[in-house]
A and B are shown apart, each in its own frame.
Chain A
Amino acid sequence: MLTGTVVNYYTHCQRQCWLFYHNLNLEDNSEDVRIGKVLHELKKQGKEEIALDGIKLDKLTAEYVTEIKKSDADLAAAKAQLEFYLVVLHDKGIIRKGRLECLEKNKQSKSVHTLMLTEGEIEERKVQYRQIEEFLNRELPPPPIRKPICKKCAYYEYCFI
């Protein structure tokens, strides 16, 4: 079953997505990931995390479903993750707008991004999610492609050894 993280990774790096999905989640010694985890712990303090059908929502209000990220390093991937939440909620009859809060803005000029999906876009996304599921069922992960983002990735050594 798809999760928000898997959809995020699919946009970010397909190889990472496949490996992660098959539980080959490599240990990360990176400080950034640790900060991300701590932020996650902090922001959920005192609040119940809302979890349903593979999605875990940072915040759900009458108007918005909110996803909080440490930075806007890969905005497209974060948006894909948030859209996935919107689609899952939509299927349960919960119609919301998406709100993405980046605690650090390094690449974008603003730290809060909002998004909405039309009915047509929702159907498009569902087709795409079925493609992702097919992709995950492949026997082998796709070969690595060396990109600048690889240098910081926990999978770097495994991918390029």
Chain B
Amino acid sequence: MGKSSDTRYIFSTGDLYQKDFSIVFRKEDGNFYLPIKDTRELYCFNEITLSTKLLQLLAKVGIVVHFFGYYENYIGTFYPKEQLLSGRLTVAQALAYEQNRLKIAGPIVKGIAKNIHFVLYHYYRHGKSELKDYLDWLRKDVSRLADAVGDIKQLLRIEGEIWARFYQTFRLILPESFAMNKRVKRPPDNPINALISFGNTLLYTKTITEIYHTHLNQTISFLHEPAERRFSLSLDLSEVFKPVLVYKTIFDCVNNRKITVEKHFDKKLNYALLNEIGRKTFIEAFEERLNQTFEHQTLKRRCSYKQAIRLDGYKLIKHILEGKNFVPFCMEDKK
């Protein structure tokens, strides 16, 4: 079982139940106590038995639980009854979707470009001069193109191009064993796609938890269609964090040989799935990055990247409710 800050990861099979005011995880080699006080989020990667009595406790204290299947596939989230509800905000959020969608979706796409630029600039500075064209395009053209669009479809085309060109840079950055021909999801067909899918899912669920702690409605999204997945606002808000949280973790793990194709992927499945050690290694690196802090330039206080996701939720509320321009997290500006 892994723990980092207030998130607990469960990799083995066992029973979860309540004892006094703690959660107990009983597995073959003993009992593990998870104190409620510093648990806010649980990830279950194996077969877990739990009871409604436990769910009652989890709901009372607002602990969110994410469940995954055998193939790392995301099953769903136990999402405790909303504690923070504001009718006024829900109405305003829906109106913003109707009337102002591009004012929120546009900055998200620009934010993706900025954060990819930040991540790749590091490699450019270290000799990957082939990145120049793409970097220039990200910095100079994307913002202009995104401002000029008339509808969401045009904006999504720009977003698609940003990611497609980003994947093409992998051959410059990553070893050959992690080459990527094209992005394949559900299920991924090779190691790099497996890492991306796993990383994106982790970030998506993290964002669900952060949004849970705000008044935002998870189903009303702006860049993605509200119907796309149940919690499509999480897809929206996680987008700008992918380059700095998911991809930087992948590059770090792969280039520093923390994760290799031979050791950390399941051979039986054509290396298209992380094995248990691979999963643990990746999660550890990902959590470390999430909990890293920086000096937030607007708030003038230290803040972790995980908190930054929540802060983007606050920015969105402030845009919806008070009309302040929505500018999602930017790695370079540290705000």
Contacts and interface: CB of A to CB of B under 8 A. Distances in A.
Interface of A: 22-25, 27, 140-141, 156-158, 160-161
A160 B298 contact: yes
Interface string B10-44: 00000000000000000000000000000000000
B248 interface: no
A158 B87 CA distance: 18
A47 B215 CA distance: 34
A161 B311 contact: yes
Chain B residues touching A, range: 10 to 19
Contacts of A25: 84
23 contacts: A22-B86, A23-B85, A23-B87, A23-B88, A23-B215, A24-B88, A24-B89, A24-B215, A27-B83, A140-B321, A141-B321, A156-B299, A157-B299, A157-B310, A157-B311, A157-B314, A158-B314, A158-B317, A158-B318, A160-B299, A161-B298, A161-B299, A161-B314
Contacts of A157: 299, 310-311, 314
Interface in B291-318: 298-299, 310-311, 314-315, 317-318
B151 interface: no
Contact of A161 (B87, B215, B315): B315
A27 B307 CA distance: 13
Contacts of B84: 25, 27
B173 to A, nearest CB: 33
B322 interface: yes
A23 B86 contact: yes
B88 A22 contact: yes
B258 interface: no
Contacts of A158: 314, 317-318
A155 B311 CA distance: 12
B132 interface: no
A156 B318 CA distance: 13
B171 interface: no
B182 interface: no
Contacts of B317: 24, 158
A21 B321 CA distance: 14
B3 interface: no
Pick from B88, B310, B318, B321 the residue with the most CB of A within 10 Å: B321
Interface string B188-230: 0000000000000000000000000101000000000000000
A27 B209 CA distance: 14
A161 B319 CA distance: 11
A161 B318 contact: yes
Contacts of B314: 157-158, 161
Contacts of A24: 86, 88-89, 215, 317, 321
Contacts of A141: 321-322
Nearest to A140: B322
A100 to B, nearest CB: 30
A23 B89 CA distance: 9
B95 to A, nearest CB: 13
Pick from A141, A156, A161 the residue with the most CB of B within 10 Å: A161
B93 to A, nearest CB: 12
Pick from B85, B310, B314, B315 the residue with the most CB of A within 10 Å: B314
B140 to A, nearest CB: 28
A156 B303 CA distance: 13
Contacts of B86: 22-24
Given A24-B321, A161-B298, 4 more contacts: A23-B215, A24-B89, A141-B322, A161-B314
B32 to A, nearest CB: 25
Given A157-B299, A158-B317, A160-B299, A27 B213 contact: yes
Contacts of B89: 24
Contacts of B85: 23
A2 B82 CA distance: 25
Contacts of A27: 83-84, 213
A156 to B, nearest CB: 8
A141 B85 CA distance: 18
